Chain A
Amino acid sequence: EAEVAQSPRYKITEKSQAVAFWCDPISGHATLYWYRQILGQGPELLVQFQDESVVDDSQLPKDRFSAERLKGVDSTLKIQPAELGDSAMYLCASSFSTAHSGNTIYFGEGSWLTVV
């Protein structure tokens, strides 16, 4: 069964350092999402891509977070500089299309970030 791949699974970084997460969506999925899940809370959307274009980044802290999907396939989420409050799980997800709200969104295993 096809899966959304994410790396690294776990990352510990010091405050003010840079950190990056990588995601490879299910083949053929045009839509890619990055969600942040703080411990004990539900996932919150950070950024959404349709192919290589950002279609929603309203909740992305743009002073320190950036995301790209250059060829419309895999994606990188970067944080620079990292802050203590960024400690969370970063989930990547993908779906075939956003043309219909009922399309299933598939999630990766997540990347745990701990900022010390």
Chain B
Amino acid sequence: AQSVTQLDSQVPVFEEAPVELRCNYSSSVSVYLFWYVQYPNQGLQLLLKYLSGSTLVKGINGFEAEFNKSQTSFHLRKPSVHISDTAEYFCAVSVFSGGYNKLIFGAGTRLAVHP
């Protein structure tokens, strides 16, 4: 069964510092990977997704992620964070079964940006 593990439940960082949020997946087939962001009391917003092609994927708000098949990882990075990046970040894998697809989410990483 496909699953997603987010290795850090919380990541504190100072404003303008770089950050990496780690995500590992398990899958026996080709995968499609996603990162979503959730601001307090809101729904999920897509940051970026990997379908195929270049392993470095650029998303909104200056975030990027790198797909590493050998390490089964899809880590999210940003070179310089802002206070407004404080949120919960979810890594997800798309599962295609029985003719339909759905997202399987990790437990989330809370990014706290401090001044």
Contact = CB atoms under 8 A, between A and B. Distances in A.
Asked if A pairs with B, the answer is yes
A41 B103 CA distance: 14
A104 B49 contact: yes
Interface stretch (A12-20, A42-50, A66-74, A80-88): A42-50
Interface of A: 4, 6, 31, 33, 40-45, 48, 50, 55-56, 91, 93, 98, 100-110, 112
Interface of B: 4, 32, 36, 41-46, 49, 51, 90, 92, 94-96, 98-108
A88 to B, nearest CB: 13
7 contacts: A43-B44, A43-B105, A55-B100, A93-B44, A101-B32, A103-B101, A104-B49
Given A33-B102, A56-B100, A108-B43, A42 B32 contact: no
A46 to B, nearest CB: 11
Given A42-B90, A102-B94, A48 B102 contact: yes
Contacts of A41: 107-108
Contacts of B44: 43, 91, 93, 107
Contacts of A33: 102
A98 B106 contact: no
B43 A98 contact: no
A5 B99 CA distance: 26
